[in-house]
Amino acid sequence: MTQKIADDLVRSSPELIDVIMHIIPPKGIQNMVMAAHLRKAIGETSDADD
């Protein structure tokens, strides 16, 4: 579901360069990427500048 939102947002707003959605998983302590226009980022740990 979240990936669909990211894909739809990029499709409807072509001026966007990228869309990345971050979460802290239950019992987690660090942000991670849960959806992204560039799917290779999914599952990666979020950087400080994210």
Regarding pTM above 0.85, the answer is: no
Mean pLDDT of 13-27: 92
SS (H, E, C) 1-50: CHHHHHHHHHHHCCCCCCCEEEECCCCCCCCEEEEECCHHHCCCECCCCC
pLDDT at residue 50, rounded to an integer: 72
Residue with tokens 């980022």: 41
Label residue 22 exposed, middle or buried (CB < 10 Å: 0-12, 13-18, 19+).
Answer: middle
The Cα 25–Cα 13 span in angstroms is 28
In this predicted structure, the answer to whether residue 12 has a pLDDT above a threshold of 90 is yes
